[in-house]
Copies of this chain bind each other. A is one copy, B any other.
């Protein structure tokens, strides 16, 4: 009973194992892109929770060591894979009023969280403990779309005279996005639209219109 051993002494031909399914071996850029694409596909198929280095490597038809040489772990790989597809921070149309601009911005963010990116965000949170630098990198990506769109809306509000000029750079500015994100993390997607309107009408707009406290500082 011969074990399924690969090392036959008489290997007459450069056969089987050498059959490259990819002709010339992929390297550098090409290989990296293939890996990131495989990561995205896996992510869409099985979700972040079931994502493994093993499966990504298999789908990319490469070895795990190739992944580890480029990324310290799964989390970092995923961050890169998502970054590639960012493209976001699209300009929001000017709806003519602060309230509707803000609503539009929140709905945009809500939509993004409902996709695999939201899944990833949740999955990455536990990793934040490991490495503060990593955590910061994630936060920057996460916060890309959110504050950008909101800040734009606030600036328009300032221009229209709806709110005071110091607000877009104050601690109050991010409250809407923070609450939205908090709701997503606890309740998941999709986020019901009245949650968004509640945040805007019951909290965010009143807050923006509330008088500046003595302590309130620009940031």
Binding site for B on A (CB under 8 A): 1-10, 27-29, 32, 47-49, 69-71, 76, 79-80, 83, 119, 122-123, 125-130, 132, 134-135, 137, 139, 142, 170-172, 175, 178-179, 181-183, 185-188, 198-199, 201-203, 205-207, 209-213, 215-217
Contact A76 B178 (CB under 8 A): no
Contact B185 A125 (CB under 8 A): yes
How many Å lie between the Cα of A217 and that of B178 in the bound state?
Answer: 21
Residues of chain B contacted by A137 (CB below 8 angstroms)? 1
**Chain A contact residues: helix, strand, loop or mixed:** helix
Contact A28 B5 (CB under 8 A): yes
How many Å lie between the Cα of A171 and that of B207 in the bound state?
Answer: 12
Known contacts A4-B5, A28-B7, A179-B178; A201/B213 CB under 8 A: yes
How many Å lie between the Cα of A4 and that of B137 in the bound state?
Answer: 15
| Complex partner residue of A6 from B7, B125, B171, B212, CB under 8 angstroms | B7
Contact B188 A185 (CB under 8 A): no
Q: List 5 A-B contacts (CB under 8 A).
A: A3-B32, A4-B9, A8-B9, A135-B188, A202-B216
Contact B170 A202 (CB under 8 A): yes
Contact A70 B5 (CB under 8 A): yes
Q: How far is the CB of A73 from chain B (nearest CB, A)?
A: 11
Residues of chain B contacted by A205 (CB below 8 angstroms)? 213
Residues of chain B contacted by A127 (CB below 8 angstroms)? 49
